[in-house]
Structure 1
Amino acid sequence: MIQLIFLLALLLCLIPLIPGVIGLILPAFSWLPPLGHQTPGLSAFTIVIHWPGLGESILLSLFTGLGSSILALLFTFTILQRYWDSEGWRRLERTLSPMLAMPHVAFAIGFAFLLSPSGWLYRLLETVGIPTGQAFSLIQDPYGVGMMLALAIKETPFLLMMSIPVLQQLQTARLLTVATSLGYSHRQSWLTVIMPQWLPLIRLPLFAVAAYGLSVVDVALIIGPTRPTTLAVLIWQWFNEPDLHLLPRAAAGALLLLLLTALTLLLMRLCEHALVRGWKSWQLNGARAHRHRRLNAFRLFRCPAPISASKNYAPSSMASSSTTGLGLYWPFVAIPVLVIPVLAVWSVALRWRFPDLLPSRYSLRFWQQEILSLFELAANSLTLALASSLTALILAIGCLEYRQQTQRGLPIWLIATPLVVPQLSLLFGVQIATYLIPGQHYWLWVYWSHLFFVFPYLYLTLDGAWRSYDIRLDQCSRSLGMTTWQTWWKVKRPQVQPAMIMGVAVGISVSLAQYLPTQMLGAGRISTITTEAVALASGQDRRVSAIYGLIQGSLPFFFFTLAFVANRLTSHYRHGRPYTRSTLADDTVCGKPHYK
């Protein structure tokens, strides 16, 4: 049974790649027999190359995508350096899940309502007497600055979350203790000792962030530049042309986007290798006084070093530093936290004149107007999310169990493909392939596409729990007469259950945020909260946009909260105390806790 599940997961990861690549390359070279294009050629590439404003669109994509990735990386490293292993970090860590729960579309809508020329920030400035008539707008600005900042703020919590197991694996407290004994300051220790080890280990999450920034469509439609647009939005406009004979142009553009993303990721990999492996003098020169001045160029913020929670690393010179505040991290909490109130107020605002801080009249008319549509769209969204997440959970568990038994698992490059390949490029070829299959199976194609993108996230969420599981517990339970199924259900399942519950919440959140797979493979016939939110945010009434953005942002947060409560209740009823792995292992193996 496990072998069958593993094969199904392997097919799930491989099958979309074959039609995705073939269905992209052949139309790009003008070979599309159903439309009469039977002679391969380069005419589509010629049209794309000579398209007015193509160079500006490429530069905008690089500036917003690569710039947001670099900013998010700098923000992440600075926050880790400032707060890791401190009291402030424990409070910061509790905010990561709510920040990650908010989809990009809901965040973009709230970001636009907050920082648009008539948003709350400008209203507040006008209230305190600062004129904003000539102020630069960050929403749909021609340079993409607002979009770059929004993506950087949204992706920083993701990189922080991915850095937690990496830094735990590196045992940073010991590294900092040794570096301090050699005369390094706190900042020098992080820059020269920890950063060269941390950066290669978060390569995959960073690549995922960069690929998303280069190819994002939904966020760019809401807050991105419009004249010219980013390359992904330009290709999306080509794809939506009513004349099907123009599909080769869209395919050539999608292939160009794929090549641009691949070259950008290659450039990032080369820069990482040059910084960490090639140019080592800055790591090996030692803690010298003159180096301290040169390291100032690498500092993003000047801040006091934290007091470590570890007893082994508490230099007396830092004893006066306070770590209870989260001054560096507050923008990454404040902006997402303000998004929900802004959307909630706009959804019931009937009259809200500028520069009033609050509406002068309220009404539920727009909720009453949209309530029936909301129920239908929410039902579609939740059905797809639950179906794809539960299926992905079964496939991920089967793959991890197969790896544990045979020491052979899915290749990491295969799992990472949906994360780093632009959705627009991959889905274009998949959609072309679905045209060749008779029948209108739109719901099935959308479900398949959601499952394809949900599975990697859920697999990576469960991977840590399976790797940290002590296999000796299985051996002990089998020696006591339990079957394989009884061992898994009574011994292993309680220990990995928190990760499974959280993985389902992650999968639901990922599915609810899918815009391009639903639009492209659903052919506009499968509508969800996300597709409607993006459509309404492009120029409809702000109140209706706020309603859909609020619902789209609240659903993932509800499931994350439900997962957190379920884990806490499960731990309480099973143990009567907070869950600790060592106590659970002793109870299972020895029959009683081990007291020292």
Structure 2
Amino acid sequence: MNAKLCTLNKQSVASFTFNLIVLLTVLISFLPLVPGLMGLLLAAFGYIPAIDQYTLSITGFTQLFTWPGLSQSVVLTLFISIASTLIAALFSFAILQSCWHSRWWKQLETLLAPIMALPHVAFAVGFAFLFTPSGFIARILGDQINWQLVHDQYGLGLIAALTLKEIPFLLFMSIPLLKQLNINTTLITARSLGYNNAQAWQKIILPQWLPKIRFSLFAVMAYSISVVDVALIIGPTRPPTLAVLVWQWLNDADLATLPKASAGALLLLLMCLAILLSIRFTEWFITIKCRTWLSSGRYSLPIGGKSIIIITYLITLATLPILLMWSFAQRWRFPDIVPSRWSLRFWQQEWGYLLDIIANSIMIALVSATIALVFAIIIHEHSIKAIANKRFLKVPRLLIAIPMLAPQLSLLFGIQVATLYIAHQYYYLWVTWAHIFFVFPYIFLALDGPWRSYDQRLDKVALSLGLSPFKVWWQIKRPLLLPAIWIAWAVGISVSLAQYLPTLMLGAGRISTLTTEAVALSSGQDRRISAIYALLQSLTPFLFYIIAIVASRKSGSLEQQRPTSTSRISTPNVSVSQQSNHP
């Protein structure tokens, strides 16, 4: 009897401790949402004590709506975000339709990792070196081209760059989803009814794929409507996008522009919400309301996914050798294909500054990604307990996704205002916390597939044999999911290394990282120095992806570790998560 009471007491203490850890995780991960939204709303309506404004007013909105170029900026922002998201979604589906389980699908999947590891800023710098009037493409084709994709007034270059960067992300997120849909069986059934491959994909698989890829499309749309760093490098300038416009107002030396900037940030948030709702409505209209196209004959659109993926990979991977050549070029006249003189001068000139900047970037990325990884594991474990026991409240997926779905600029403005009231001088603390806030959803999504596919019967058997819950997790579940954990950790580091606005706004310009320096140097500085920073920003995530892939292979795949008596661990979704070992 005493032994039973002791066991019950231990279980209750362990359960209380775990719930307390979950509560702390939720507070740390999502607490910035409160000051972010509240600070934004108060500042938008004129309550900014930092500049001695204590009364609510609509002066900021008046200044915003009377600004001469606002309507053009809003229309341009909507055009860029909607076009880039829709084109990326269409091209991603075309690639899946054309290449799924083809003979070169494994190679395509393997190349997803280096492309996803390439930060947006480094890609934007390489894209500019490729497509400027004196860029590498112009050097090859000479006078045969006459385009302007960098800083063009319609934002076509920005649309192209965002599309090329988001296609690999949508492909990566689609792989586990399509594994769940059991595509091979669907295609066999469709062929037996007389449908060809394209008709089966567009009339059967597309209506199932759209709802499952919804949150990924939301994330792509939210990023494209609020992107600042890439827009500063290759986006339009007369007028700029609304996010860049708000960013310029925030950095204006005249503090009287703060109400206008905060009103612009609120407008950006409302625009983002409106577009997300329109995506949801479009999905509902296509898949639920207007279903006649599903049964109206066997017509299918001819879309060539293989040519799209080849162009995507060629342009994306071509940026790295271009950056490498520019970093060592001493003289590269137009229209020479390669530099006429090479030199280490600029590397030697910058190396003294680079060491501190690289150390800063890696330190913040390691700390934020590791903490976010622990938090994501805790929330996943709590979700499993909440499903098994209805007494536990499950953390809503929408709450987890808010840092991905809301414009960074809108949230960070409110957070920045809130830090002024607490202790704004702790710059590394606020920057690291902001990185955790924005990294956490990506790590959570990266672990979602493996955690869903894990066979809970293994835990039940181990618990019935007398192991404690922690020992069950450490000795049984952790080894099975360790490969996916390594990859999620690398994803988190990559996301942290690419953060521009959180570092600049909450660091107050006192914390320099490879991303902040690359953006600053891209606007008119020497191309060779810009190339050095962009190249290092590209290679740093690669290093951690390589470490994660090697470590995940050393720890073994899930298929190698699964017990032969359990069949569910080998379901397609597990191998998917594992396919993130070589994405």
Whether these two folds match at TM > 0.5 is yes
Partner SS for 1:257? helix
Candidates 412, 418, 424, aligned match of 1:427: 412
The residue aligned with 1:585 is 563
Candidates 303, 308, 315, aligned match of 1:300: 303
The residue aligned with 2:19 is 3
Normalising by structure 2, we get a TM-score of 0.91
- Take 1:545 and 1:64, find their aligned partners in 2: how far apart are those partners? 26
- Take 1:463 and 1:300, find their aligned partners in 2: how far apart are those partners? 31
The residue aligned with 1:36 is 52
Candidates 140, 151, 175, aligned match of 1:164: 175
Candidates 143, 150, 156, aligned match of 2:161: 150
The residue aligned with 1:574 is none
Candidates 411, 432, 445, aligned match of 1:447: 432
The answer to which of 351-360 and 36-45 deviates more is 36-45
The residue aligned with 1:457 is 442
- Take 1:558 and 1:365, find their aligned partners in 2: how far apart are those partners? 25
Partner SS for 1:523? coil
Q: CA deviation at 1:580?
A: 4.6
- Runs of at least 5 residues in structure 2 that lack an aligned partner in the other structure: 1-16, 388-392, 568-583
Kindly provide the CA deviation profile for residues 510-546 of structure 1, in whole angstroms up to 9, marking residues without a partner as x. 0000000001111111111100000000110000000
- Take 2:478 and 2:290, find their aligned partners in 1: how far apart are those partners? 47
- Take 2:164 and 2:554, find their aligned partners in 1: how far apart are those partners? 32
Aligned pair 1:222/2:218, yes or no?
no
- Take 2:413 and 2:476, find their aligned partners in 1: how far apart are those partners? 45
Matches within 5 A, 1:570-581: 570-571=555-556, 579-581=557-559
Aligned pair 1:395/2:375, yes or no?
yes
Give the 3 Å change call, closer, same or farther, for CA 30–328 of structure 1 in structure 2. Answer: closer
Give the 3 Å change call, closer, same or farther, for CA 582–550 of structure 1 in structure 2. Answer: closer
Aligned pair 1:379/2:382, yes or no?
no
Matches within 5 A, 1:488-507: 488-507=473-492
- Take 1:242 and 1:482, find their aligned partners in 2: how far apart are those partners? 62
Give the 3 Å change call, closer, same or farther, for CA 352–34 of structure 1 in structure 2. Answer: closer
Matches within 5 A, 1:330-349: 330-349=310-329
Give the 3 Å change call, closer, same or farther, for CA 280–542 of structure 1 in structure 2. Answer: same
Aligned pair 1:206/2:232, yes or no?
no
- Take 1:466 and 1:121, find their aligned partners in 2: how far apart are those partners? 45
Instruction: Work out whether residues 131 and 149 of structure 2, in 8 Å CA contact, stay in contact via their aligned partners in 1.
Output: yes
- Take 1:203 and 1:67, find their aligned partners in 2: how far apart are those partners? 16
The residue aligned with 1:236 is 247
Partner SS for 1:464? helix
Kindly provide the CA deviation profile for residues 326-354 of structure 1, in whole angstroms up to 9, marking residues without a partner as x. 54311111111111100000001000011
Instruction: Work out whether residues 462 and 472 of structure 2, in 8 Å CA contact, stay in contact via their aligned partners in 1.
Output: yes
- Take 1:66 and 1:5, find their aligned partners in 2: how far apart are those partners? 40
Instruction: Work out whether residues 392 and 451 of structure 1, in 8 Å CA contact, stay in contact via their aligned partners in 2.
Output: yes
The amino acid across from 1:430 in the alignment is I
Matches within 5 A, 1:14-53: 14-53=30-69
Q: CA deviation at 1:582?
A: 7.2
Aligned pair 1:252/2:268, yes or no?
no
- Take 1:438 and 1:545, find their aligned partners in 2: how far apart are those partners? 34
Q: CA deviation at 1:178?
A: 1.7
- Runs of at least 5 residues in structure 1 that lack an aligned partner in the other structure: 304-325, 572-578, 590-596
The amino acid across from 1:346 in the alignment is W
- Take 1:328 and 1:231, find their aligned partners in 2: how far apart are those partners? 30
Instruction: Work out whether residues 377 and 527 of structure 1, in 8 Å CA contact, stay in contact via their aligned partners in 2.
Output: yes
The residue aligned with 1:269 is 280
Candidates 70, 75, 87, aligned match of 2:91: 75
- Take 2:179 and 2:212, find their aligned partners in 1: how far apart are those partners? 12
Instruction: Work out whether residues 65 and 214 of structure 1, in 8 Å CA contact, stay in contact via their aligned partners in 2.
Output: yes
Normalising by structure 1, we get a TM-score of 0.89
Instruction: Work out whether residues 13 and 414 of structure 1, in 8 Å CA contact, stay in contact via their aligned partners in 2.
Output: no
Matches within 5 A, 1:70-219: 70-126=86-142, 130-132=143-145, 135-219=146-230
- Take 1:405 and 1:473, find their aligned partners in 2: how far apart are those partners? 15
- Take 1:332 and 1:409, find their aligned partners in 2: how far apart are those partners? 39
Partner SS for 2:38? helix
The residue aligned with 2:516 is 531
Q: CA deviation at 1:588?
A: 9.1
- Take 1:439 and 1:265, find their aligned partners in 2: how far apart are those partners? 33
Judging by fraction of residues, say which structure has more helix. Answer: 2
RMSD after superposition: 1.6
- Take 1:193 and 1:247, find their aligned partners in 2: how far apart are those partners? 51
Q: CA deviation at 1:245?
A: 2.7
Aligned pair 1:356/2:340, yes or no?
no
The amino acid across from 1:357 in the alignment is I
Candidates 531, 539, 542, aligned match of 1:546: 531
The residue aligned with 1:370 is 350
Kindly provide the CA deviation profile for residues 168-205 of structure 1, in whole angstroms up to 9, marking residues without a partner as x. 11111111122222222221111111101100110000
Instruction: Work out whether residues 473 and 585 of structure 1, in 8 Å CA contact, stay in contact via their aligned partners in 2.
Output: no
Q: CA deviation at 1:299?
A: 3.4
Q: CA deviation at 1:587?
A: 7.7
Report how many residues are paired.
Answer: 546
- Take 2:426 and 2:124, find their aligned partners in 1: how far apart are those partners? 31
Partner SS for 1:328? helix
The residue aligned with 2:574 is none
Q: CA deviation at 1:86?
A: 1.7
Instruction: Work out whether residues 97 and 198 of structure 2, in 8 Å CA contact, stay in contact via their aligned partners in 1.
Output: yes
The list of structure 1 runs, each at least 4 consecutive aligned residues, that deviate by more than 4 angstroms after superposition, is none
Quote the sequence identity (%): 51
- Take 1:511 and 1:367, find their aligned partners in 2: how far apart are those partners? 25
Partner SS for 2:271? helix
The residue aligned with 1:306 is none
Instruction: Work out whether residues 479 and 555 of structure 2, in 8 Å CA contact, stay in contact via their aligned partners in 1.
Output: no
- Take 2:424 and 2:271, find their aligned partners in 1: how far apart are those partners? 35
Instruction: Work out whether residues 445 and 521 of structure 1, in 8 Å CA contact, stay in contact via their aligned partners in 2.
Output: yes
